[in-house]
Amino acid sequence: MIPDPIAGRPTPAEIAAALKLPPSPKVVSTGQNNLVLDFGETIVRLPYYPSGVRELAREAEVLAALRPHLPPLVPVLELHDVGGHVVSMHHKLAGEPITDPGALPREDQKTLARGLAAFLAALHALPVSLLPGAEAVDPLAEWHELLRRCEQHAFPLLPARVVADLRQRFNAFLADPGMSARTIIHGDFGAGNILVHDGRLTGVIDFAGCGIGDPAYDFASLAAGFGDGFLALVERHTPISDAMRERMAFYRCTFPLLDVLFGVEQGDDEALQAGLHAIVAE
């Protein structure tokens, strides 16, 4: 269901006319943050919430800074005003998201793993100074803020034993000196943002979460989406230390918490229930 906050948004036909695109696009996604329309050769995203407009503007700035230094796998993002609503537009990259790399032939799995490892290695090696305001980033601040939001919105909805375990995980993580690492990360390196064609990595999209952080976060997202077995193939091409694995385990336990928080804060019951179910089922 498309959220109410985008009532009054331009219709696909109005977007097509304003941007001189073919009519009758395909709806690719009505996900948590954006309505995504496929116009054939062009992808258009329309944010659901005011925060999404700010994220699109930042994403365009980030991609402009990083794209010259990365493999040619990321989009060139353009922002446009359509009837008072900000939309982003980019040329459609080759490939489609996949949910199960295990369905690929074994050699294709190895090829994809090698491509993903190479992309992350290139991204994580970039100087943090490429991102605006990088020097002012406190690597732990966002995690203290996440814990505060969980205490306020998520923990009251969970069993006491689950809350006690989550608090213990947060406290151990926040005391870990390894979190002082400062690296440019994608921030949402999951299955939906990885494009594949004929077993090859052909695109990486949605850099809204890109920022300064722990490279283990990207590996945690990859493992959550593609499974630990596939991550083992990736690890053949890039080292993952035991300390990184411990942080990855923590990050993975926070992913359903983010769904709960989104559900509470944006009134999305589907996201809320999915997050609660995932947490209790662990």
The per-residue pLDDT for 91 is 96
**pLDDT for 152-179, tens place per residue?**
999 999 999 999 999 999 999 998 766 6
The per-residue pLDDT for 4 is 46
| Residue (of 110, 114, 72, 109) closest to 93 by Cα position | 72
Pairing of strands 85-91, 96-97: unpaired
**pLDDT for 55-78, tens place per residue?**
899 999 999 999 999 999 999 999
Whether the CB-CB separation of 178 and 148 falls below 8 Å is answered with no
CA gap 264, 88 in Å, rounded: 27
Task: Using pLDDT thresholds of 50, 70 and 90, give the confidence band for residue 2.
Answer: very low
The tokens of 257 are what?
A: 């918490």
CATH class held by domain 96-281: alpha beta
Beta bridge partners of 200: 197
The residue extents of the domains of the chain are: 4-91, 96-281
| Exposure b/e, 246-269, CB count within 10 A at least 16 = b | ebbebbebbbbbbbbbbbbebebe
Domain covering 4-91 assigned CATH 3.40.50.1820 in the classification:
no
User: What size, in residues, is the chain?
Assistant: 282
Instruction: Tell me how crowded residue 182 is: count the other CB atoms within 10 A of its CB.
Output: 14
Please tell me the pTM assigned to this model: 0.91
Task: State the virtual CA torsion across 137, 142, 145, 146 in degrees, nearest 10.
Answer: 180
Burial status of residue 26 (CB atoms within 10 A of its CB: 0-12, 13-18, 19 or more): exposed
